[in-house]
């Protein structure tokens, strides 16, 4: 597996593994032992970068990732996230809804829980999951600076943050990475985010690089999603919009046929060509998909091919928002 560097010094595999889907959003879920075997197989295949969060399945995802990666110690990089007040869940396991919170005391409570669940004495990369409008980003950055000095955090980052927020945070405590959605069917980061990250020397970690599996070619105009599947709540996957959006899927499949590869590898290979400091984290629960995805690091495009792809993408209009309305409200704009 090829390696890349986020920020100034965090070396990771060119393609990571998003672990959320092992326990939430995209059923069916594997049993614990199967999930552990899959994550460990990813390490054998060369993946060294794994993404989780305390809020995924109310701590269960971190526990899974921690147990699966315990044998590998510092040979792997684990990224997790804070940014919610988990309330009584910390102590009583209640179903109380989580709320945005990046108060210093909330962050410190969060990291102690994450360290325990991940079975580590430090967090490799610690993201603020969502921006808390009630807490100045400078205060958050100061808290992370303290945690870095204490050795509990090695690197920190932001998720779904506006460029103005990134600049303010970076000025107080340098960021190593920013995580946001970016793919062939969501290219908004190209306008402001990528130039800002390049200027500041911050790495970029695109989540949903396969468009929540849309770009793999698995879905067509007749696909429907069960209510337990997160995609059923996303406007661009809903009836009417989906039928329009398959135009992009067909185009990616066409590119894959031309290069005798798979649509997933085309999508990931394209992302990797955009900047050398981009590290996508596709999520999957199956070893064969991990094997397929890491092959995206070997896909090459000529300058002429990239220009043709960009021109074609510019001619395709994707219909529908990328989040349900209640989650759109949490984004930093």
Q: Which residues are catalytic?
A: 56
Q: Are 51 and 64 a contacting pair, CB within 8 Å?
A: no
- Cβ burial 274-305 (10 Å sphere, 16+ → b, else e): beebbbbbbbbbebebbebbbbbbebebeeee
CA-angle at 142, arms to 141 and 148, nearest 5°: 85
If phi over 0 gives left and psi between -120 and 50 gives alpha, with beta otherwise, what is residue 181? beta
The encoded tokens of residue 84 equal 């919610």
Work out whether the CA dihedral 132, 107, 170, 187 comes out positive or negative.
Answer: negative
How far from the centroid of its chain's Cα atoms is residue 41's Cα?
20
Region of residue 151 (left: phi > 0; alpha: psi -120 to 50; beta: else): left
């Amino acid at each position: 597996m090829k390696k890349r560097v986020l920020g100034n010094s965090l070396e990771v595999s060119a393609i990571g593994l998003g672990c959320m889907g092992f326990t939430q959003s995209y059923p069916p879920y594997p049993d614990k032992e199967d999930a552990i075997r899959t994550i460990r197989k990813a390490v054998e295949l060369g993946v060294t970068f794994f993404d989780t969060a305390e809020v995924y399945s109310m701590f269960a995802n971190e526990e899974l990732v921690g147990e699966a990666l315990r044998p590998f110690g510092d040979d792997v990089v684990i990224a997790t996230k804070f940014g919610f007040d988990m309330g009584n869940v910390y102590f009583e396991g209640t179903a109380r809804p989580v709320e945005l919170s990046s108060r210093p005391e909330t962050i410190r409570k969060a990291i102690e829980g994450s360290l325990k669940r991940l079975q580590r004495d430090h967090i490799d990369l610690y993201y603020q999951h969502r921006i808390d409008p009630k807490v100045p980003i400078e205060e958050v950055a100061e808290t992370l600076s303290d945690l870095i000095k204490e050795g509990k955090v090695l690197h920190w980052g932001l998720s779904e943050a506006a460029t103005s927020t990134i600049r303010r945070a970076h000025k107080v405590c340098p960021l190593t990475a920013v995580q946001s959605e970016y793919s062939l069917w969501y290219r908004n980061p190209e306008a402001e985010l990528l130039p800002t990250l390049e200027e500041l020397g911050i790495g970029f970690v695109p989540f949903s690089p396969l468009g929540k599996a849309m770009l793999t070619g698995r879905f067509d105009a007749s696909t429907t999603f069960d209510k337990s599947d997160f995609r059923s709540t996303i406007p661009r996957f809903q009836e009417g919009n989906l039928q329009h959006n398959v135009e992009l899927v067909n185009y990616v499949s066409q590119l894959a046929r031309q290069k005798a590869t798979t649509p997933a590898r085309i999508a990931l290979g394209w992302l990797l060509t955009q900047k050398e400091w981009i590290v996508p984290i596709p999520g999957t629960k199956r070893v064969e998909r991990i094997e397929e995805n890491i092959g995206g690091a070997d896909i090459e495009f000529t300058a002429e091919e990239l220009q043709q792809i960009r021109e074609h993408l510019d001619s395709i209009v994707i219909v529908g928002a990328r989040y349900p309305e209640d989650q759109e409200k949490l984004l930093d704009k």
